[in-house]
Structure 1
Amino acid sequence: MRAGSRKTLRRRVVGSRPSLVGLFASFERLIPILRGVVRRWLDIAWREPLKSFVGATNRTRPWIKLGSFVSSFRKKGYSLDYLKRILNAKVYDVAIESSLSLAPSLSQRMGNKVLIKREDEQPVFSFKLRGAYNKMAHLSADQLACGVIAASSGNHAQGVALAAQKLGCSATIVMPRTTPSIKVDAVRARGAEVLLEGESYSDCYEKARSLAQAQGKSFIHPYDDPDVIAGQGTIGMEILRQHQGPIDTIFVAVGGGGLISGVAAYVKAVRPETRIVAVQAADSDAMIQSLETHSRVNLTSVGLFADAVAVKQVGTETLRLCEQYVDDWITVSTDEICAAIKDAYSDCRCVLEPAGAISIAGLKKFGAEHGIEGKTLVAIACGANMNFDRLRFVAERAVLGEAREALLAVTIAEEPGSFLKFCELLGPRSVTEFNYRFAGGRQAHVFVGVEVNGRTETAKLLDEFGAAGLEVADLSDNELAKLHVRHLVGGHAVGTGGERVYRFDFPERPGALMQFLRVMNRGWNVTLFHYRNHGADVGRVLVGMQIPDVDVDAFHQFLTSLSQLGYVYCDESANVAYIRFLGLHQ
């Protein structure tokens, strides 16, 4: 037999009777395949759910060495205690995972992807039930049997009341007298006892503390408590779970600091590159002042428009966490808050309370000031307990907050026809308000509101008036003008003999006021004029005119022609309100 044949035979014999070495070699070839199968099983069974739970986004490292993770975590200054507290927080017995909604219109205007965390969807229309329930769920049976007490401006009170109802214990809430009735009624509806005390949260705090000590009740702090902070921190956990992609900045409303402390503690542990920005009302900025001075500032007074964040002094623990985790801060005005309420309604069809919209106002202002574009920005809408009668004020101030209305004081010549000439200077711009009352002399002062597209157009309008020789003052940021003067222009007239006052209604549409002025331009002296565009289908104007006796017939013909054009009018010359407050001074 030839050598080649023997080799072939030997190979066949070996192949038909496998040795241990051959088996091992075959198994060795299977190891990479088995490793891949096991890795994939572990990936499906453990890594993906864990990543989804904590919101991790690093897909390049499928395995996490716990020791190195903890070491790195501590080196960066992060506390495992708060991460663990938040992951184990007991909130979902009463709270829901609120939605993270895209704000399409706001996103388009800003050139960013704007997401709104909708805590207004909670059963008590605010995030506060998270921290309240988490704290109370950690109380012992004996502590619950003694009852709980809290100091709150409203939202925390509702959270405590709901938690007490769920856990079967009594609750007493000390609330400021300035709390909106909608919040007081909601707390009482859940079976809690309400005591009204002072003007702000800080005024209620001492009262609640003394009652807690005297009655043996557990005091549930609205923000300066680790369990409360951890409960609020679940919002940060949800945000990162709901949006797996990069988030540039999260904007958080701040009162005492419980919400931002919890959210920041979690987000900085999981995605330290995400910025946290604190947003406060300009007249209630205790946290920002405290961060700037590195001490707990005690404000002498706070603004009450955004009552849910009207806190004179922040917490010790919340300040510590904010100093560690908060990247930046910004304040917003009342008008900017109102504009943010309008933005939320436009994009989400929700009506937020002022404190609930503060984060959106901050997002808009911060983005504009820093030129942020092409980023993902998140604002936490933290509450929607709004009194209905506040909506009128919000609607009126929102246009100022978004710089879409300019309020101006203009001086014109006191002579027939000057009023129309002034209106013609406005061009195609819509007039939102006119207030004028004849007071004698050679000059007339007109209070006018004009629809504009930002402050740049306001500046252009001022230049145009100046070029026409008119004296003009911008009152858009003048609180006295916005709150009072616009409604008080007038007083008893001097030298307006023969004045007739009529109220006119006409179809409201662009240019309708100018058309009305042209129709009534018959050379008679206008002594009184008031108009306000309320966004309704009908425009309403109050007009006073000096009609000489020789022109009475012509005036009645004028009224008839107006009626034929569809203008509805009513003679108010004998109205007691006109006689007492606006008529000829006796």
Structure 2
Amino acid sequence: MVAQELDYFRAIIQANMEPLARVTEVSEMAALSEQLGNQVWLKREDQQPVYSFKLRGAYNKLRQLPAGSHVVTASAGNHAQGVALSAAHLGHQATIVMPVTTPEIKVNAVRKLGGQVVLHGHHFDAANAYAQTLTEQQGAVFVPPFDDKDVIIGQGTIARELMQQLDTLDVVFIPVGGGGLLAGMAVYIKSLRPDIRIVGVEAEDSACLKAALAAGHPVELERVGSFADGVAVKLIGKETFRLAQKYCDEVVTVTADEICAAVQDIFVATRAIAEPSGALATAGLKKWCRTTGERGLQLAAVLSGANLNFDRLRYIAERTALGAKNEALFGVTIAEEKGSFKRFCQSLGGRAITEFNYRYAGGDDAQIFVGVALRNGQQELDEVKQGLSKDGYQFVDLSDNELAKLHIRYMVGGKPAVALQERLLRFEFPEYPGALARFLEMLGNNWNITLFHYRNHGAAQGNVLAAFEIAAKDQDQFAAHLEKLGYQYQDETDNACFKQYLQLPASLPRMVG
């Protein structure tokens, strides 16, 4: 081991987290252990006073400073609470810059812990830039969320506890955002036990470590997803990447649905409700077991946080069954005649229907949107498909279609009375009071909106589905307008869901821009 890593190892051994940060429990996940054929353990960082591991790094950083220091940081949640509590305990003044999109529950939590909150910008990058400006103007000390030696050392104390709590350990799964937790835990574990595998787990739409490993250096992602907001980081830290590159054995990426299923697994095992980023490592553990087929091992995952807005539970519950492969969604064409619904249900072989959406639209065929409960995952899904094919049904498996899951299932049945030249776009915009009105205002009045669907999921980002009537000659002008808006969007004009449920039948004349 080189001297630099030896310094980390010694510092983690010596780091005193008392009395602020607690020694958290390691809980066995009995049901998941039986399901996967491995012994699965969960390191419970949701038991910290701020319900997140972030307290460790913040506390270790701030305890190095003279009493009465002024510290500044930028954060949308867990790091902010860790800094605020640590500052109050150590007698420092803390200014926390948070995006205006930050949920009220997190803003209030920071204020109650004694932090002075400054709301600035509609995303983290803007808040972080302003925090850097305040730091210079006020002669304060900036507290980075992950790319800092003292912060990394603080997070590494989780590994110190874990190694003391479990005598046997084969693989450790660690969530990755900016990389501070992975770097600190990996350098400590590998220093003692090089044979233990370290697996970093990232959200598929925020995989900055995976991108950096592929490039050989940190690279900035063009955009990141908003669901697991605790790990929504575009660029991994330089020092955290250096350590990850050296000590992380592999990286697993997971979908939002897989994260939701892991939230349920954690609840079943502990009755704790993890935030999406908090369940990330468990989701990665499950995927790794399915992919590798490994059995008979001792596996540990970090439950990194449980700061979840209550109104997000609806979204998580809706997606959990899909993530666990306990539900499938289908778009099916059936005959528009008496008895056709009954015959279709019979073709499912007695399986439970979780939802059934239909609206009469005339013609010989009907388009239905149906959810089917599954008990045996992919195998049973294949059986359902074989049964539908055998009975002569035309169908599309929509279980992995994001447009279907976010919007279509809540708006089936709307088709225009006449053929339209439409573009269908799925937008993502910062969610805050008045955000939807501002979004509509920015869209302008140049084009007729022919379809609009919005649903608040309690997240930092709002999702809107909108169709615009656009003549062929105006396509370039519309594209320029979208570029000027600056919102992230996905063109869904050719999505099978749009064609099946929201457009006129293909036999009627229409043009799609």
Counterparts in 2 of 1:562-573, with a 5 A limit? none
1:280 equivalent among 165, 178, 202 = 202
**1:93 — aligned with what?**
19
Equivalence map 1:436-447=2 (5 Å): 436-447=358-369
Query: How big is the shift at 1:78?
Result: 7.4
Match for residue 250 of structure 1?
Answer: 172
Q: Name the amino acid aligned to 2:161.
A: E
* Displacement of 1:179: 2.7
Instruction: Map Cα deviations across residues 234-283 of structure 1 (whole Å, 9 max, x no partner).
Output: 000000000012x1110000100000000001000011110111101111
**2:390 counterpart (459, 467, 480):** 467
Larger radius of gyration: 1
Q: How many residues align?
A: 416
Return the alpha-carbon distance in structure 1 between the equivalents of residues 65 and 4 of structure 2: 27
Q: Does the aligned pair in 2 maintain the 1:277–1:326 contact within 8 Å?
A: yes
2:171 is matched by which residue type in structure 1?
T
Alignment counterpart, residue 334 of structure 2, candidates 383, 406, 412: 412
**1:179–1:307 CA contact under 8 A, matched in 2:** no
How is 1:31-430 mapped onto 2 (pairs within 5 angstroms)? 73-74=1-2, 79-141=5-67, 144-145=68-69, 147-245=70-168, 247-430=169-352
Amino acid at match of 1:383: G
* Aligned-partner Cα distance in 2 for 1:88–1:460: 57
User: Contact 1:283 / 1:302 at 8 angstroms: preserved in 2?
Assistant: yes
Whichever residue aligns with residue 304 of structure 2, its letter is: C
- Corresponding residue of 1:566: none
2:89 corresponds to which letter in structure 1? K
Question: Structure 1 length as normaliser, TM-score?
Answer: 0.70
Shift of 1:203: 3.2
SS of the residue 2:79 aligns to? helix
- Aligned-pair CA distance for 1:345: 0.1
Find the aligned partners of 1:177 and 1:250 in 2 and give their Cα distance: 36
Match of 1:423, as an amino acid? C
| Distance in 2 between residues matched to 1:192 and 1:201, nearest whole Å | 18
User: In the alignment, what sits opposite 1:434?
Assistant: 356
Q: Residues 218, 457 of structure 1: CA spacing in aligned structure 2 closer, same or farther, 3 A cutoff?
A: same
Q: Work out the CA distance in 2 between the residues paired with 1:422 and 1:166.
A: 64
Distance 2:304 2:76 in 1: 14
**d(CA) in 1 for partners of 2:280, 2:415:** 42
Higher relative contact order (CA closer than 8 Å, sequence separation 6+): 2
Q: Offset at 1:317?
A: 0.6
Following the alignment from structure 1 to structure 2, what is the Cα–Cα distance between the partners of residues 486 and 351? 26
Q: Pick the structure with more helix per residue.
A: 1
Q: Tell me which amino acid in the other structure corresponds to 1:137.
A: R
Q: Which runs of 5+ in 2 are unaligned?
A: 418-513
Change (3 A) 1:239 1:252: same
Amino acid at match of 1:158: Q
Q: CA deviation at 1:286?
A: 1.0
Q: Which amino acid aligns with 2:117?
A: V
Identity %: 50
Which residue identity is paired with 1:148?
V
Alpha-carbon distance between aligned partners in 2 of 1:127 and 1:416, rounded to the nearest angstrom: 59
Corresponding residue SS for 1:252: strand
1:426 deviates by 1.2
Q: Answer whether contact 1:249 1:376 (CA < 8 A) is retained.
A: yes
C-alpha deviation, 1:490, in angstroms = 1.8
User: 1:202, 1:311 within 8 Å by CA — same for their partners in 2?
Assistant: no
1:199 shift after superposition: 4.3
In structure 2, distance between residues paired with 1:421 and 1:78: 70
- The one-letter code of the counterpart of 1:347 is A
In structure 2, C-alpha distance between the alignment counterparts of 1:208 and 1:334, rounded to whole Å: 30
Deviations 1:522-572 (A, max 9, x none): xxxxxxxxxxxxxxxxxxxxxxxxxxxxxxxxxxxxxxxxxxxxxxxxxxx
| Paired residue secondary structure (2:218) | coil
Alpha-carbon displacement from aligned partner over 1:158-187 (angstroms, at most 9, x marks no partner): 000000110112111112333333222111
Aligned equivalents of 2:409 and 2:321: distance in 1?
15
TM-superposed CA distance for 1:305, in Å, is: 0.7
Structure 2: which amino acid aligns with 1:481? A
Distance 1:370 1:196 in 2: 45
User: SS of 1:330's equivalent?
Assistant: strand
Q: Residues 198 and 493 of structure 1: is their aligned pair in 2 closer, same or farther, counting only changes over 3 Å?
A: closer
Paired with 2:118 and 2:206, the residues of 1 have a C-alpha distance of 24
TM-score by length of 2: 0.79
User: Retained in 2: the 8 A contact 1:120–1:384?
Assistant: yes
User: CA offsets, 1:196-225, max 9 Å, x none?
Assistant: 333443332221111101111100111111
4+ residue runs over 4 A deviation = none
Query: What whole-Å deviation, never above 9, does each CA across 1:496-532 have from its counterpart, x for those lacking one?
Result: xxxxxxxxxxxxxxxxxxxxxxxxxxxxxxxxxxxxx
| Residues 436 and 446, structure 1, Cα contact 8 Å, conserved in 2 | yes
Question: Secondary structure of the residue that 1:283 maps to in structure 2?
Answer: helix
The amino acid across from 2:42 in the alignment is: I
What SS does the aligned partner of 1:465 have? helix
Q: CA RMSD in A?
A: 1.4
Indicate if the aligned counterparts of 1:200 and 1:311 stay in contact, CA closer than 8 A: no
Q: Could you tell me how far apart the structure 2 residues matched to 1:324 and 1:136 are? A: 27
SS in 2 for 1:79: helix
Output the CA distance in 1 between the equivalents of 2:119 and 2:228. 18
Shift in Å, 1:334: 0.4
State the one-letter code of the partner of 1:339: A
User: How many Å separate the matches in 1 of 2:415 and 2:331?
Assistant: 20
Q: Corresponding residue for 1:481?
A: 404
Structure 1 pair 291/357, CA: closer, same or farther in 2 (3 Å)?
Answer: same
Aligned partner of residue 415 in structure 1, secondary structure: coil
Deviation at 1:302, TM superposition (A): 1.0
The 1-side partners of 2:290 and 2:296 are apart by: 13
CA distance in 2, matches of 1:238, 1:115: 13
Aligned residue type for 1:234: T
- The whole-number CA distance in structure 1 between the counterparts of 2:18 and 2:124 is 27
Q: Distance in 2 between matches of 1:411 and 1:244?
A: 57
Hey, what does 1:534 align to over in structure 2?
A: none
The residue type equivalent to 2:34 in the other structure is: Q
Go from structure 1 to structure 2 and tell me whether the alpha carbon gap of 1:493 and 1:311 turns closer, same or farther (over 3 Å shift): closer
Structure 1 stretches lacking a partner, 5+ long: 1-72, 495-586
CA distance 1:344–1:493, shift in 2 (3 Å): same
Structure 1 residues 288 and 176: CA distance shift in structure 2, 3 A: farther
* Structure 1 counterpart SS, 2:407: helix
Q: Tell me: CA distance 1:84–1:447, structure 2 relative to 1, closer, same or farther (3 Å).
A: same
Tell me how far apart the structure 2 counterparts of residues 181 and 294 of structure 1 sit (CA, whole Å). Answer: 39
- The offset of 1:134, in angstroms, is 0.5
